[in-house]
Structure 1
């Protein structure tokens, strides 16, 4: 964990270049951000392009640093082509889930690579369930605890509409990364059964709450 491959560098570079273009060109930003009204009017490309735009430098930095720390695990586990597939499946899954939950909110909009990055995070946890992170650079915490906790917080954020954050896209990205990783390595169901079940819990909770009209 913590290495960087050329394909990761390219993705980070694309995010930086396109985000800075958006920082300096409001028309460009508005044209390519995720916007329900525009997507429903036919501009489906926004579901992809919005994943390369960010609100500000701190938003961009957070996503790219997170990607940096976890991308290498996925690249080493699957190789560059499958890493790219997982990244873009996660990005689009985040946009699709946001579209599903906000389809009747024409003014809803969002930007950021968070969905794709969360998918890579979830994939890395499945591949390396023994990973440990240092919370505040001092407190060791299992990576799966972070992943599960993050999604549970995302459910809370979706329910309470907390802040100007695309909680739905984060969640959709995690689902995309989870599904794609199991598709590419179905043996994980048998070799990491507990982790597969644990990471599925927040996903099940979300859809049960949606069916019950609680979110």
Structure 2
């Protein structure tokens, strides 16, 4: 890989991060702007579909923004190196939409429900990175030993299901889950060869998705 390859990899990630920073700080300073472009079920159902996209570039505060952007920057290259910048962007936005679609589905009758943040898109990139590199090691601040990527991915989505069921915190667990599903599905569509080389990991990473489906069908999700 030469210098220009590294430059290209950095640019696409930086452009997305800059867009998030600009939109988020605009929202911090202008409440009207924030309210106009956040995810809100009632507004979306009245036809303001732009919120499905724009809400992914707004954040609650600087900490929320930094956490999402740091995570994106950390995992972006793992996807770009395997699939290229264009496909990375497709996965990012597909995950953002998947996440908001799942939120809209679960909260379709909660016209008051609102949400913001790039978490769905970022989780999609995270899950895509794990799917492409299932043996990658991840380190958590409170765990001194490396965690295999696929173990982290499964655990994260199981926690998201628990969070959805128990409504833990002011967190859009359904958007996180939907984003991960988006990253998972789109990455497999782009890289069908994974079914030959990593079928076992594909099956393991699908476990939380199957669990969510079963819980929903049996009425045990809420």
The answer, yes or no, to whether TM exceeds 0.5 is yes
C-alpha distance after superposition, 1:85-143 (max 9, x if no partner): 00000000001010111001011110000000000001001111111012227321112
The structural deviation recorded for 1:208 is 0.8
What does residue 43 of structure 2 align with? Answer: 38
What does residue 195 of structure 1 align with? Answer: 201
What does residue 24 of structure 1 align with? Answer: 29
The structural deviation recorded for 1:147 is 1.2
Structure 2 gap ranges (5+) = 1-5
Q: Distance in 1 between matches of 2:112 and 2:170?
A: 13
What does residue 170 of structure 1 align with? Answer: 176
Q: Distance in 1 between matches of 2:32 and 2:151?
A: 40
Q: Are 1:111 and 2:116 matched, yes or no?
A: yes
> Is the partner of 2:22 in helix, strand or coil?
helix
What does residue 219 of structure 2 align with? Answer: 213
Structure 1 gap ranges (5+) = none
> Is the partner of 1:44 in helix, strand or coil?
coil
**TM-score of the two chains, using structure 1 as the length reference:** 0.97
> Is the partner of 2:147 in helix, strand or coil?
strand
C-alpha distance after superposition, 1:134-166 (max 9, x if no partner): 222732111222111111111011111111111
**TM-score of the two chains, using structure 2 as the length reference:** 0.94
> Is the partner of 1:175 in helix, strand or coil?
helix
Q: Are 1:121 and 2:126 matched, yes or no?
A: yes
**Superposed counterparts of 1:68-83, under 5 Å:** 68-83=73-88
> Is the partner of 1:138 in helix, strand or coil?
strand
Q: Distance in 2 between matches of 1:134 and 1:172?
A: 24
> Is the partner of 1:105 in helix, strand or coil?
coil
Q: Are 1:146 and 2:149 matched, yes or no?
A: no
| Structure 1 stretches of 4+ moved >2 Å | none
What does residue 3 of structure 2 align with? Answer: none
Q: Distance in 1 between matches of 2:56 and 2:171?
A: 13
> Is the partner of 2:112 in helix, strand or coil?
coil
> Is the partner of 1:5 in helix, strand or coil?
helix
* Total equivalences in the alignment: 213
C-alpha distance after superposition, 1:46-102 (max 9, x if no partner): 000000000011111111111011100111111111110000000000010101110
Q: Distance in 1 between matches of 2:122 and 2:11?
A: 17
Q: Distance in 2 between matches of 1:143 and 1:68?
A: 16
